[in-house]
Structure 1
C-alpha cells in the first residue's frame, strides 16, 4: 500500500512550525531538524520544499508582506499593520522572528521587505506637508514599537491591552503624524 502525502499540508505544517520557532528562538536558535520535528516530518523535506534554512526563513516570514497594504489610506494602513504585527491572528509574533534574525543578511533583508520595502514609499506618497518620509517612518516605528512591547518584551501592560482599547490611542498617533501640521483632523463628534 502506497501512502500519499499531502504536499501542501506538509508545507503548511513546516511553515507554521518555522514561524513559531523563529519567533521564539530566533534564526540562530532554530534548527531545521527542530522545525521538521515540530511538523512531524523528516528534515529532508525542509530542503526539498525550501532549499535551505534561509529559504525556510524567507518563506515563513514572506507571508507578512501582503500587497493589499499598498494604496490604503494612512489610517487604514496603520490599523492593518497593527493587526498584522501587534495582534497576529495565529499568535506567531512575526516581529519577534524578524528582530531575532537581525545581523544576518537574510534577516535584515526580510526586515527591510516586511517593514519598509514599498510600504514606506507608498505611505509617504499619501502624506501632505513637510517631511512625509520621516512621518511615514515614525508611523511604522510606532506600530513596530507596540509589536515589540506586546510580543518580545515579557510582562508589559501593552501585552495585555486588547486591540480595540489600543486602537483609540493608535488612531490619535496616526492623526498627528498624517496631518501636515501635526494636529490631525478633529475626532468625530468634536
Structure 2
C-alpha cells in the first residue's frame, strides 16, 4: 500500500519545493536584482540543494522569468468561468500582497533588472501563449485580441499604480471597492456589453 501513495507524496514534495524556490527567488530578485542574486542564495533561502533550481527551472534566467509572473495562477484565472473572471484577475494581479517581494509588482522587478531584455522577450511569449490566448477565447465579437490585450493592460497598469507608484486612491482601495467598476470594464471588453454595433 505504501507504494500506491508514494507517487502522490513525491508530487507533493516536488510542488512544495518548487513553490519554496519561487518564493525565495521573488524576494531575492526584488531586493537585490538579477545580477545581485545567485542560485546558491535562492536555494539556501528555500533550504534546498542548489541543484534543484536547475532540475525544476533549468537555469537562473528561467527561474527569474517565472518568478516575475505566476503563470499557473493566471492561466487558471484566464481560462476559468466568465463570471469569476473580474475578481480572479484583480486578486491575482492587482491585489496580491507584494510586501514580501520588497513591495514591488514582479513586472516592475523585471523591468528594473539591468539584464531584463532577453527575459522580457521570453516573458512576452509566455504571457501571450499562457494567458492572453486563453482570454481571447472568452472574448465575444470582433477585435478579440485587441480587447483582450486592453483588459490585460488595464490590470497591469493598476498593479503598477498600487505597488510601484503608490497612487492615493488605488493604494487605499480594496478589491471590493474596485470590483464593481472592473466588472463593468470586463463586460465591455470581454462580453461586448455597450459596444457600438455596425
TM-score (norm 1): 0.69
Identify the residue that residue 4 of structure 1 maps to in structure 2.
Answer: none
**Which residue among 114, 123, 126 is the counterpart of 1:113?**
126
Identify the residue that residue 127 of structure 1 maps to in structure 2.
Answer: 139
The 1:172/1:23 distance shift into structure 2, 3 A limit, reads farther
**Which residue among 34, 39, 60 is the counterpart of 2:67?**
60
Structure 1 stretches of 5 or more lacking a match? Answer: 1-6, 185-190
Contact 2:78 2:89 in 1 (8 A): no
Q: Following TM superposition, by how much is the alpha carbon of 1:175 offset from its aligned partner in structure 2, in angstroms?
A: 2.1
Identify the residue that residue 152 of structure 2 maps to in structure 1.
Answer: 140
For residues 130 and 122 of structure 2, the distance between their equivalents in structure 1, rounded to whole angstroms, comes to 13
Identify the residue that residue 7 of structure 2 maps to in structure 1.
Answer: none
SS at match of 2:29: helix
The 1:11/1:137 distance shift into structure 2, 3 A limit, reads closer
Q: Does 1:79 align with 2:91?
A: no
* Alignment size in residue pairs: 177
Indicate the larger mover: 117-126 or 58-67. 58-67
Identify the residue that residue 88 of structure 1 maps to in structure 2.
Answer: 96
Indicate the larger mover: 36-45 or 100-109. 36-45
What do residues 39-85 of structure 1 show as CA deviations (whole Å, max 9, x unaligned)? 35675664565443113224535643344335434453332122111
The 1:157/1:118 distance shift into structure 2, 3 A limit, reads same
Q: Does 1:160 align with 2:172?
A: yes
TM-score (norm 2): 0.67
For residues 112 and 95 of structure 1, the distance between their equivalents in structure 2, rounded to whole angstroms, comes to 14
SS at match of 1:158: helix
Q: Does 1:20 align with 2:27?
A: yes
SS at match of 2:171: coil
SS at match of 2:170: coil
Q: Following TM superposition, by how much is the alpha carbon of 1:172 offset from its aligned partner in structure 2, in angstroms?
A: 2.0
